[in-house]
C-alpha cells in the first residue's frame, strides 16, 4: 500500500479531529489572504487616486507657518506672482495657479477650485467634461461641477446655483459643465475662475497651489530640486513622491497584517502537531507491524509527512477559496467606517471603498504557507514514529 493511501486512511479514521485540525490552518490562511488582498487593493486605489489628481508633474504649496486664519481654519497661500518665477526655471514647460477652498453650492458643502482655464488645461490636460464645457476666461460666475455633486443636487448644465465661501455670501453661478473622474470623492468638487475664487475668499493675488508641467517627465526630480533651490519656503511634491510615501505606509501596513496572519497560522500549527502526535500514539501497533515486516524508517517518515502535507494542502486550498470569497464580503461589512457625509442634504460620499485585489502572488503565498505549516508541524511527530522499534511498539499495545 502506498504512502498516499495510508495517509488518506489515517486521516479518515478520525474525521472530526482531522476537520478541526484543518480548520485551524483554514482560519489562518483565510485571515492572511483577506488582509493581503485588502492591502493590495489599497495600493491600487492609491495609485489610481494619484493618477486622477491631474496631469501636473509637480505641485507647489506653501511650506511656511500659516499666517492667515480662514473661515474653515488656517489657510496656507502663495503669491500668485510666483508663477512667473517658476516658469523661468529650466525644464518647466507650463505653470498654472490654483486656489482651493471649502465652499457651498446650493447649501451643500463642496471643495472648490479656482483655476486659470488656459494654463490649467495646458498643465493637467483639462477636466473630463461629459456635459457642457469648461469655464471661460472671458466670462464671470460660471462653474463646472463634478458628476456626483451635480446628481446629488439634481442640477444640470444651464441651471443657476448659489456658490460662496460661506452660506451668507453666496452668489448665483451658472453651471456650464459637468465632469467625471470615476471616483466619487473627487466628484464632490466645483471649478470656477481663479479671480472669482479669489473674490469669494477675499484672497486677491493669492493661490494655494501652483501646478507645474515639465518639458521632460523624466526630469521631474531635477526640476523639483531646482524649484526648491530657487524659491524659498515652498513645498514641492510630485505624484511619484506621493506614490512612494503611500507605498511605504502600505508596506508597513502589509507587514503588520502579515504578522497577524502568521500568528493565526502559527496557532493552527499546534493543532497539526497535536493531531499527528495522537495519530502516532494510536497507531503504535501499525508502526511496529510495518517495521517488523521490513519497512524502513524513511517509509514510515514518508507516511506521516504525507498526512501532514495533506492537512496543509486541504487547509491551504480551502483557506484561499474562503479568503477570496470573504475578501469581497468584508468591505461591505465595514463600509460605514470608511465613509463620511459632510456634503449636506444627507448625502454620503464614500471617502474610499476598500476593494480587494486578488493577485496570483497572494494566492501562491497563502497556499504555500498553509502547506509549509502543515509539513513543518508534522516533522517532529513523523520523526518520533521513525524512532520507534518493533519491540517497543508491541510492548505498548
Q: Can you give the pLDDT at residue 238?
A: 79
What average pLDDT does the segment 31-40 reach? 84
Nearest to 46 by CA among 264, 253, 327: 253
pLDDT band for position 65 (cuts 50, 70, 90)? low
| Dist CA 360 CA 292 (whole Å) | 47
| Dist CA 112 CA 309 (whole Å) | 59
Q: Residue 59 phi/psi, 5° resolution? A: -120, 130
Strand partners, 127: none
Pick the residue with more confidence: 165 or 282?
165
pLDDT band for position 8 (cuts 50, 70, 90)? confident
Is 272 buried (19+), middle (13-18) or exposed (0-12) by CB count in 10 A?
buried
Pick the residue with more confidence: 328 or 30?
30
Q: Residue 226 phi/psi, 5° resolution? A: -65, -40
| Dist CA 154 CA 151 (whole Å) | 5
- Domain ranges in the chain? 3-49+244-395, 58-237
Instruction: Return the C-alpha torsion angle 237, 238, 244, 250, nearest 10.
Output: 80
pLDDT, one tens digit per residue, over 290-343 is 777 777 777 878 888 888 888 889 989 999 999 888 888 876 665 544 443 333
Q: Can you give the pLDDT at residue 334?
A: 56
Is 154 buried (19+), middle (13-18) or exposed (0-12) by CB count in 10 A?
exposed
- Lowest average pLDDT, out of 10-24, 47-61, 184-198, 341-355, goes to 341-355
Q: Where does the chain show beta strands of DSSP type E?
A: 58-62, 68-70, 73-75, 78-79, 92-105, 108-115, 129-132, 142-146, 160-164, 171-179, 189-193, 206-207, 209-214, 234-237, 339-340, 349-350
Q: What is the bridge-based pairing of β-strands 234-237 and 189-193?
A: unpaired
Q: In the predicted model, is pLDDT for residue 268 greater than 90?
A: no
Nearest to 192 by CA among 132, 117, 261: 117
Distances (CA, A) of 101 to 107, 192, 251: 15, 11, 32
pLDDT band for position 115 (cuts 50, 70, 90)? very high
Q: Can you give the pLDDT at residue 141?
A: 93
Q: Can you give the pLDDT at residue 135?
A: 94
Pick the residue with more confidence: 116 or 269?
116
pLDDT band for position 160 (cuts 50, 70, 90)? very high
What average pLDDT does the segment 377-389 reach? 77
DSSP string, 184-247: GGGGSEEEEEHHHHHHHHT-TTEESEEEEEESSGGGHHHHHHHHHHHSTTEEEE-HHHHHHHHH
Nearest to 305 by CA among 3, 2, 1: 3
pLDDT, one tens digit per residue, over 356-382 is 788 888 899 889 988 888 888 888 877
| Dist CA 211 CA 97 (whole Å) | 6
Amino acid at each position: 500500500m502506498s504512502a498516499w493511501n495510508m495517509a488518506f486512511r489515517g486521516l479518515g479514521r478520525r474525521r472530526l479531529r482531522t476537520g478541526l485540525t484543518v480548520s485551524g490552518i483554514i482560519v489562518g490562511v483565510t485571515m492572511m489572504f483577506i488582509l493581503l488582498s485588502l492591502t493590495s487593493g489599497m495600493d491600487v486605489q492609491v495609485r489610481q487616486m494619484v493618477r486622477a489628481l491631474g496631469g501636473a508633474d509637480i505641485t507647489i504649496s506653501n511650506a511656511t507657518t500659516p499666517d492667515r486664519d480662514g473661515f474653515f481654519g488656517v489657510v496656507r497661500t502663495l503669491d500668485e506672482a510666483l508663477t512667473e518665477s517658476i516658469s523661468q526655471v529650466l525644464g518647466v514647460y507650463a505653470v498654472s495657479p490654483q486656489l482651493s477652498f471649502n465652499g457651498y453650492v446650493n447649501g451643500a458643502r463642496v471643495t472648490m477650485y479656482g483655476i486659470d482655464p488656459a494654463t490649467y488645461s495646458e498643465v493637467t490636460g483639462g477636466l473630463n467634461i461629459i456635459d457642457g464645457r469648461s469655464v471661460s476666461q472671458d466670462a464671470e460666475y460660471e462653474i463646472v461641477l463634478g458628476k456626483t455633486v451635480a446628481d446629488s443636487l439634481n442640477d444640470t448644465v444651464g441651471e443657476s446655483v448659489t456658490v460662496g465661501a460661506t452660506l451668507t455670501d453666496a452668489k448665483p453661478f451658472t453651471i456650464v459643465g459637468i465632469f467625471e473622474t470615476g471616483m466619487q470623492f473627487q466628484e464632490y468638487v466645483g471649478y470656477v475662475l481663479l479671480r472669482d475664487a479669489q473674490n469669494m475668499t477675499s484672497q486677491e493675488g493669492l493661490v494655494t497651489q501652483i501646478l507645474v508641467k515639465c518639458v521632460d517627465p523624466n526630469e521631474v526630480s531635477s526640476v523639483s530640486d531646482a524649484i526648491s533651490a530657487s524659491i524659498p519656503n515652498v513645498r514641492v511634491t510630485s505624484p511619484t513622491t506621493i506614490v512612494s510615501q503611500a507605498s511605504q505606509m502600505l508596506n508597513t501596513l502589509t507587514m503588520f497584517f502579515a504578522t497577524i496572519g502568521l500568528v493565526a497560522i502559527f496557532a493552527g500549527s499546534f493543532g497539526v502537531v497535536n493531531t499527528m502526535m495522537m495519530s502516532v500514539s494510536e497507531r503504535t501497533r501499525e508502526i511496529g507491524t510495518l517495521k517488523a515486516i521490513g519497512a524502513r524508517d524513511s517509509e514510515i517518515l514518508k507516511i506521516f509527512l504525507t498526512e501532514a502535507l495533506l492537512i496543509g494542502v486541504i487547509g491551504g486550498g480551502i483557506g484561499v477559496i474562503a479568503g477570496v470569497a470573504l475578501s469581497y464580503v468584508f468591505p461591505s461589512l465595514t463600509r460605514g467606517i470608511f465613509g463620511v457625509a459632510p456634503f449636506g442634504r444627507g448625502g454620503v460620499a464614500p471617502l474610499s471603498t476598500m476593494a480587494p485585489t486578488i493577485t496570483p502572488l497572494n494566492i501562491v503565498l497563502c497556499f504555500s504557507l498553509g502547506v509549509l505549516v502543515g509539513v513543518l508541524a508534522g516533522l517532529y511527530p513523523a520523526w518520533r514514529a521513525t524512532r520507534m522499534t518493533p519491540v517497543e511498539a508491541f510492548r505498548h499495545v
